[in-house]
Chains A and B, each alone.
Chain A
């Protein structure tokens, strides 16, 4: 299984599935954001990922790296707020790290994602435990070295772990102690990305298994 590789089509499917997940969960993301932010995380990501999905369908890039860098640029140009530059940088840097390979392995993607996560941390200045998307992204990128399912679980656990945290970055940080007890919307949307990745990988494996 570990020798499995994934091409541009898989990455397009991933981001399309992520767009669907964001669309489905937009209400919940906005609800979480209204508790400790400004009630727009769902709508903002919805707008960005819808644009990504539309572009991928119209002009599908040929390599995994190009799919991710293109999507990252699109998020930066359409989302705004903090999540636009942060998610845009995550995908752009991950895509750049993949280079122009036609196909990449799961472990290759895990390494590239680690570079993407590091870039997000540099840009936003957040560290693990600050109650941000990094608390889901970091553990997920690491667990992806083991399996897609482990990455999904690590992201979900990371998002849940933000509940008791005190926010130190982003808009929730203005609340001080009052940010405690709420799940971070950014960590929650990050978990959606990894759930979509695991779903698409599961589907790809199933197809592989039957052929």
Chain B
């Protein structure tokens, strides 16, 4: 591992992030990243956050057109309410704050507490829960579907709405719409290693893969002998389409888990496009890269979002963040 000691991994990363991105405000002590121009008058501010180890999520999505603030927790551990309250207070222009929360027990509990405390300070707060992972089948008897790749879609599209001056209720409803229309499925070719533990979080022998994994090194639901990129695309896209059944074109995110080369991801994307073509699903936009990662896990996930004209226009709107940058 390219680290000094496990205890300082998150802070070291934030210090380096600050040095690379002078256009953002990085509070290393409180582990908060903010738009430098926040609060932006008249604009709703999106604040997200989560455990570290998923970079560039979330700090890499801070900037005009996306998040106003992001809070970093310890590795794979939700940040604490104090961070969220501080971030919300720093970015609120008076138009209100939208918390974008991935559906994990820890994130939900901490953001709930933060929302209460933030409202106590007289700031308007709305929350949107991202829960797109179809690998979690039995939502009634689990903590519910996990938030994964759709987080990027929600943050980008709702962020564009906020940038355009939409009021809080509208930004919130767009965020909910994006989440409701998005589904993901992830596959691991190797487990990941957290710095604190120093060994893989689960045993995955060479020649096998794990289907339906999350983004925290937690094992998935099923293990199989190694499949080809094409076979994995068939499995993952079908798992998503069984649940989404889009009637129109989709946004596609082919996401790397951290240790899979881009060359392989692009090859996998070719297979994903093939399967979507065979299933008669038109693709409006495609994004390929490492965006919602799981440390050094090898593997990939597919996220599809059924996108109408409205959502596509917001997707195409300019964005200027460390990890996503286009337009203007």
- A contact patch SS: helix
Residue pair A40, B76 in contact (C-beta under 8 Å): yes
**How many residues on the A side are at the interface (Cβ–Cβ under 8 A)?**
36
B96 within 8 A of A: no
B142 within 8 A of A: yes
Contacts of A83 in B (CB 8 A): 106
Interface string of A147-170 (1 = CB under 8 A from B): 000000000000000000001111
Question: Which of A16-24, A55-63, A136-144, A173-181 sits within the interface?
Answer: A173-181
Contacts of A47 in B (CB 8 A): 74
State A167–B136 Cα separation when bound (angstroms): 13
Contacts of A82 in B (CB 8 A): 78, 104-106, 109
- B contact patch SS: loop
State A167–B105 Cα separation when bound (angstroms): 13
Residue pair B138, A39 in contact (C-beta under 8 Å): no
Complex partner residue of B74 from A43, A174, A175, CB under 8 angstroms = A43
Interface residues of B in 29-84 (CB under 8 A from A): 51, 73-82
CB distance from B222 to the nearest CB of A (A): 9
Given A38-B194, A171-B104, A171-B105, A80 and B73 contact (CB-CB distance below 8 Å): yes
A44 within 8 A of B: yes
Residue pair A174, B136 in contact (C-beta under 8 Å): yes
Given A39-B217, A40-B194, A81-B106, A173 and B143 contact (CB-CB distance below 8 Å): yes
CB distance from B183 to the nearest CB of A (A): 16
Given A38-B217, A76-B113, A173 and B80 contact (CB-CB distance below 8 Å): no
Residue pair B105, A169 in contact (C-beta under 8 Å): yes
Contacts of A44 in B (CB 8 A): 74, 77
Residue pair B218, A38 in contact (C-beta under 8 Å): yes
Interface residues of B in 86-102 (CB under 8 A from A): none
**How many residues on the B side are at the interface (Cβ–Cβ under 8 A)?**
36
Which of B78, B113, B216, B218 has its CB near the most chain A CB atoms (within 10 A)?
B218
State A77–B141 Cα separation when bound (angstroms): 29
Complex partner residue of A80 from B78, B146, B221, CB under 8 angstroms = B78
A124 within 8 A of B: yes
Complex partner residue of A81 from B77, B218, B219, B221, CB under 8 angstroms = B77
B25 within 8 A of A: no
State A77–B146 Cα separation when bound (angstroms): 24
B201 within 8 A of A: yes
State A145–B222 Cα separation when bound (angstroms): 44
Contacts of B216 in A (CB 8 A): 37-38, 171
- The number of inter-chain residue pairs (CB within 8 angstroms) is 114
CB distance from A13 to the nearest CB of B (A): 26
Shortest Cβ distance from A27 into B: residue: B197
Residue pair A174, B146 in contact (C-beta under 8 Å): yes
State A91–B118 Cα separation when bound (angstroms): 23
B196 within 8 A of A: yes
Residue pair B143, A170 in contact (C-beta under 8 Å): yes
State A175–B212 Cα separation when bound (angstroms): 10
Interface string of B95-137 (1 = CB under 8 A from A): 0000000001110011001000000000000000000000111
Shortest Cβ distance from B144 into A: residue: A173
B214 within 8 A of A: yes
Contacts of B135 in A (CB 8 A): 174
Contacts of B74 in A (CB 8 A): 40, 43-44, 47, 80-81
Residue pair A174, B77 in contact (C-beta under 8 Å): no
Which A residues are closer than 8 A to B by beta carbons? 30, 34-40, 42-44, 47, 76-86, 123-124, 167-176, 178
30 contacts between A and B (CB under 8 A): A34-B197, A38-B201, A38-B216, A38-B217, A38-B218, A39-B76, A39-B217, A40-B76, A43-B74, A47-B74, A76-B81, A79-B77, A81-B73, A81-B74, A81-B77, A81-B106, A82-B105, A84-B106, A84-B110, A124-B109, A168-B141, A168-B142, A170-B105, A171-B104, A171-B218, A173-B142, A175-B221, A176-B138, A176-B142, A176-B221
- Nearest first, the 3 closest Cβ-Cβ pairs linking A and B are A173-B142, A81-B106, A82-B106
